[in-house]
Amino acid sequence: MLEIKDLKVSYGRVRAVKGISFTVEEGQVVTLVGTNGAGKTTTLRTISGLIKPEAGEIWFQGKRIDGTPAHEITVLGLAHSPEGRRIFPRLTVEDNLMLGAFARRDKAAIAKDLDRAFDLFPILKERRAQPAGTFSGGEQQMLAIGRAMMSRPKLLMLDEPSMGLSPLMMQKIMSTIVELQREGVTILLVEQNASRALAIANRGYVMESGIVTMTGDAKEMLNDPKVRAAYLGE
């Protein structure tokens, strides 16, 4: 579904991504793990059209999309729930969700997807008229995922969805990712919590200083002594 070929991204003279390649197959959860500064967030922002790559190619469902405007990439079926949630604090919960469907015109289907977001996260329905800025961090993360799902994506990119959350809320978010995969959504997950990410993923890629240093079956990587020593604190 997604193919990244020798992607290079720079901020001025600093190259943040140094020629990475990876694929995401339809129906999979694929995770990029690594420490801060590895280039994971930059990779997602480049895929979603927010950053222009210096070199390389990005292919989504057989169509080359590097250079395509971000709003058009969303229309193609690629949604991005960003690091830090980036909700609109003064807008209501429901208005935030409806912004995720900005490019759609199928009103009946939008209403159905809104109900689905409320089914996934009942707290959003209970507080649909409340300003989103009054939510806790975990509730805002639910809202950010729900907003991304309102575009009805074929591929959902999640950037650090568990950051700053309590263990209970983290479990809820990870369970939701598994549920979305069961429903047929392909997911590219960036996550510092390597053990959680690899436990639910099909395939994993380890990024260090802008390059991919390791790749493989996620469950095998979870049991790899090198991965455990470097990222699981063992």
pLDDT tens, 155-209?
Answer: 999 998 888 778 888 888 899 999 999 999 999 999 888 888 999 999 999 999 9
Q: Identify the three-state secondary structure at position 70.
A: helix
* pLDDT reported for residue 110: 93
Q: State which CATH number among 3.40.50.1100, 3.40.50.300, 3.40.50.2300, 3.30.1330.10 fits the domain covering 2-231.
A: 3.40.50.300
Strand 78-81, strand 155-159: pairing = parallel
| Residue 2, number of CB atoms within 10 A of its CB | 22
3-class secondary-structure state, position 24: strand
User: Which amino acid is residue 216, in one-letter code?
Assistant: G
In the block, which residue shows the tokens 């927010």?
50
Mean pLDDT of the chain: 92
In which order are the strands placed within the sheet that holds 63-64?
Answer: 14-24, 2-11, 55-60, 63-64
Tell me the two tokens of residue 4: 């990244």
At 156, which helix (H) or strand (E)? strand 155-159
Q: Check residues 147 and 226 and name the one with the higher pLDDT.
A: 147
At residue 108, φ and ψ (nearest 5 deg) are: -65, -40
